[in-house]
Amino acid sequence: MNRVLLADDHPMIGAALDVLLRGTDYELVGRARSGADALAQVQRSKPDIILLDVNMPDGTGLDVLRELRQTRRPPAVVLLTAGMDDSQLLAADGLEPEGIVLKTSDPALLLDCMEQVRKGESWVDPEIAERTRQAKERASRAPSLTPRERDLIDLVRQGKRNRDIAAELGVTEGTVKVYLHAIFDKLGVDNRTELAMRAAELLGRPV
Amino acid sequence: MFKYQSGRVIALGRVILAALFLVSIWFDQSQPAQAPERTYGLLFFYVLYALGIAALTWRNWWLDARLAAPAHIIDMAVFTGIVFSTNGYTSPFFLFFVLPLLSAAIRWGWRETALTATLLILLYLSAGLLVTGTETFELQRFVARSGHLVILSALLIWFGMHQQFTRLFIGPDELDRSLGRDEDPAIQALRLAMEASHAGCGALVLGEERFVGMCLSGGAARSLRIEGVLMHDPAIGLALFDIDADRAVTRRSDRRYRLLRSSRLLDIEALREIGAAQGLISAVRTGTEQGWLVLWDIPDLSLDFLELGDELGRAAGAILERGALLLAIEQGAAARTRLSLARDVHDSVVQFLAGAAFRVEAMMRGSSTGAQVESDLKELKRLLIEEQGEIRSFISALRRDRELELAEAVEELKALASRLSRQWSVDCEVTACEKAASIPIRLQLDLQNLLREAVANAVRHGGATRIHVGVDVDDDRLELLVKDNGSGFAAGSDEPPTEPWSLKERVDRAHGSLSLFSKPGCTDIVITLPLVGAPA
């Protein structure tokens, strides 16, 4: 039997996977509802495979995956997701999980994926693979930004005001405004809200 | 007739003072003390000159600007002559001293006023010295009057300095009172400028080399597009112009007038195209844009409109800035609401359907191996009906176009508690204070989600059988107290209670706070949420 840990904060998913794995070669050895809980349970229950939801409180699935990549003999990771934005797709691509399954795809694909992973191979949902390819394309098309402009976008994304940004970058508020307008023009965004919301896509990297 | 017409006021004042002085000397047998023929001649020509200046400049701001400095010098020269010829104690020269001083204070600034005062005092002292020793000269009166002149000069210099800091300023509060919130900010700014200047037509264009904006003419608004550079000299932000006469006046940084050809200064073709032959153009700057305010068909255009235009340009910038700020706030609120709704749908509907699909897959696999799936199907049916109810109440809340009274919100929470009681086989009760409060839609959705989460936590992790939810309001906060009889969040007596993360995350997103008091057999969760500031 392959030991499986499920990390997903939604009760319906947990109960459903519990039922789905019954009578298979997989034994559900634990359930975690947060990122921190998942890491603790990995230490305790030593699973072979961890089914990891991407969006969880107290540490996302990607945070957990990042941590696990630092450990010796980590379990195989199958990311379970109902949808990822560009930055998450790019981050996941960089972390190379053994499997990625869309919750909205045919549920049979999860068992197919787990089977491949069990054999030591990797399996990525075709839709996720295509969206990752598109995200990489968009990232490569992202206009070139100076390091200072990238810093400024990061600060805008954090919801900081011009005054705070100016203090942090050691410039005047007027200079921040000038920078922002140059960035708006360069990236074709209309305002700072749009800039903050599209920061990951525009920077071409996860934030 | 005299609003924004300081040129007229100065010209009229000059005429009245000249005539009054001539009449008073005519009736005063003791005057003029020196050179009577030349004094009468000087005064007679001065009256004619004053009438001429008034007639020429009454409706001509260009000549007013052109003649301002020469007329000022002539006024001072005449003053010196009068002091020289009417040095007796009955001399009403004092009036003539006031005219150039006031003119300088009104037209220019404190520096010109100070310069005029210094020159006048020096001229007065020189004229006084010239008549020293004559029988009509009184030293004591001369010294006293010199003192009066110095004091009056100091007052007018202060007035000139103070005037620069008492310009029209339109702050956000004043704008809120005077302007509607729904109108396009560009039209608001234009209407305000047109009303203040009594202009029949106006345009507000924004851009750098391609200006887009509005034109208001005869009460009708039309959009406007101007290609090119409207003002050739970017350093100049304000001018009066007369395209037909090819004239323009602007101010230097030292506030002195600068006379120019309008064809050299402005894109006269663009102005002619919008029908602005004679009027005022003022720069408009906001934090993100810059452009021009053009006003024409102004009945009594005068040099004062240079000052007014500066203020109107700044007011227009403030209105546009305010409009942009309100738009950004609205967009931000809409974006937050959109994201929040997307998250709710993702967290509930998408996750539920995904879970249901996994269960169906499990049942299909089970049935293929001959397993009984009837109980699983019943369970799935129950879950689907419950979820349907949740989605229905979610949609009802979204459809509502007003905030709820606290009593209404509590009734909905009670209905939800009743459903949750059946779902989790638990005794769940909601009670509330009888205070009045308005509950925004977003807050009500958060309350419902928090209640679902709290009940699920209490039953699943604490094995609770009784849950009591209390709702209270205090000023601008709502307090939700969830008390259950479960085993609590504490894993062991030596360990601190673990936080209910899913609840904490929801509370954080709603800008609230959560406190947890947990021991075996009793868990209290106190959630405080802001009543105001929650997006609708």
CB contact (8 A) between residue A10 and residue B353: no
Nearest chain A Cα distance for residue B383, angstroms? 9
Task: Give CA–CA dist B279/B300, Å, rounded.
Answer: 10
Which of 24-53 (A) contact B at CB < 8 A?
A: 33-34
Comparison of pLDDT for B336 and A167, the residue scoring more: A167
pLDDT at position B344: 76
pLDDT score of B129: 73
Does A103 contact B at CB distance below 8 Å? yes
Decide: helix, strand or coil at residue B406: helix
pLDDT of residue B230: 83
Choose, out of A4, A9, A19, A37, the residue to mutate when testing the contact with B (most B CBs < 10 Å). A19
Q: Which of A20, A57, A83 sits opposite B346 (nearest CB)?
A: A83
Q: What Å distances lie between residue A180 and A43, A124, A163, B153, B503, CA to CA?
A: 46, 38, 13, 50, 37
ipTM of the complex: 0.71
Contacts of B353 in chain A (CB under 8 A): 104
Name the pairing type of β-strands B513-519 and B522-530.
Answer: antiparallel
Residue B175 structure tokens: 């704008």
Neighbours of A87 (CB within 10 A): 19
B351, B362, B456: residue with CB nearest A82: B351
Q: State the angle between helix axes of B139-163 and B110-130 in degrees (0 to 180), rounded to the nearest 10.
A: 170
- Residue B165 pLDDT level (bands cut at 50, 70, 90): very low
Least confident of B4-13, B154-163, B377-386: B154-163
C-alpha A73/C-alpha A48 separation (Å) is 10
Task: Write the residue in B332, B347, B460 that is nearest to A193 by C-beta.
Answer: B332
Q: For the segment B278-301, what is each residue's pLDDT rounded down to a tens digit? A: 999 999 887 777 888 999 988 888
Element (H, E) at B157: helix B139-163
Predicted confidence at residue B244, as pLDDT, reads 92
Provide the number of CB pairs (under 8 Å) joining chain A to chain B.
89
Q: What does the pLDDT read at residue B92?
A: 57
Annotate B484-508 with b (16+ C-beta within 10 A) or e (fewer). Answer: bbbbbbbeeeeeeebbbbbbbbbbe
Q: Give the pairing of strands A123-124 and A99-102.
A: parallel
Residues in Cβ contact with B137 at an 8 Å cutoff, skipping those fewer than 6 apart: B87, B128, B131
Half-sphere exposure of B148 (CA within 13 A, CB side): 12
Q: Would you call B190 exposed, middle or buried from its count of C-beta atoms within 10 A (0-12, 13-18, 19+)? A: buried
- The reported pLDDT for the residue numbered B33 is 67
| pLDDT over 80 at B423, yes or no | no
Q: Is the pLDDT of residue B360 over 80?
A: yes
The Cα of A202 is separated from the nearest Cα of chain B by a number of Å equal to 18
Q: CA B125 → CA B38, B83, B93, B145, distances in Å?
A: 21, 9, 13, 10
Other beta carbons within 10 Å of B141: 13
Q: Which residue of A has its CA nearest to B505?
A: A57
The pLDDT confidence band at residue A206, using thresholds 50, 70 and 90, is: very low
Specify the pLDDT at position B535: 45
CA distances from A185 to A145, A172, A175, A192, B25 (A): 12, 20, 15, 12, 73
- pLDDT beyond 80 at B533: no
Out of A10, A82, A181, whose CB is closest to B288? A181
* Residue of A188 and A2 predicted with greater confidence: A2
Q: Is the pLDDT of residue B172 over 50?
A: no
Better-predicted residue by pLDDT, B161 or B451:
B451
How confident is the model over B377-399, as a mean pLDDT? 82
pLDDT, position A140: 76
Helix (H, G, I), strand (E, B) or coil at B292: strand
Is B120 within 8 Å of B79 (Cβ atoms)? yes
Q: Report pLDDT for A88.
A: 85
Residue B73 has pLDDT above 50, yes or no: yes
Q: Which residue of A has its CA nearest to B332?
A: A193
Whether residue B85 is predicted with pLDDT greater than 80 in this model: the reply is no
Question: Are the beta carbons of A17 and B351 separated by less than 8 Å?
Answer: no
- Extract the tokens encoding B431: 């009670």
pLDDT in tens, B477-496: 999 999 999 877 655 545 55
Write down the pLDDT at residue B303. 86
Q: Does A152 touch chain B (CB under 8 A)?
A: no
The Cβ-side half-sphere exposure at B381, using a 13 Å CA radius, reads 6
3-state secondary structure of B124: helix
pLDDT cut 90: percent of chain B above it: 13
The chain B residue lying nearest A14, using CA atoms, is B355
User: What's residue B536's pLDDT?
Assistant: 42
Q: Is A37 exposed, middle or buried, given 0-12, 13-18 or 19+ CB atoms closer than 10 A?
A: buried
Q: Is A163 on the interface with B (CB under 8 A)?
A: no
Q: Quote the mean pLDDT of chain B.
A: 80
* Per-residue confidence (pLDDT) for residue A207, from 0 to 100: 41
The answer to whether A114 and A101 are in contact (CB under 8 A) is no
Q: What count of other Cβ atoms lies within 10 Å of the Cβ of residue B32?
A: 22
Q: Which residues of A touch B358 (CB under 8 A)?
A: 13, 16-17, 19-20, 107, 110
Evaluated on CA atoms B480, B486, B490, B493, the torsion sign reads: positive
Residue type, B484: D
Report the SS3 class of residue A144: coil
Using CB atoms, which residue from A12, A20, A197 is nearest to B352?
A12
Tokens of A115: 């089977």
- Residues in chain B with CB shorter than 8 Å from the CB of A103 are 350-351, 354, 357
Distance of CA A118 to the CA centre of its chain: 23
Which of chain A's residues have a Cβ under 8 Å away from the Cβ of B331? Answer: 191, 193
Residue B328 and residue A192: Cβ atoms within 8 Å? yes
Give the nearest partner residue to A17 out of B358, B376, B383, using CB atoms: B358
Orientation of helix A61-68 relative to helix A35-45, angle to 10°: 40
Q: Write out chain B residues lying below 8 Å of A108, CB-based.
A: 361
Considering only CB atoms, A193 lies closest to which of B328, B356, B357, namely B328
| Residue pLDDT, tens place only, A71-129 | 888 999 999 998 888 878 888 998 999 999 998 888 889 999 999 999 999 999 999 99
Å from A25 to nearest chain B CA?
Answer: 13
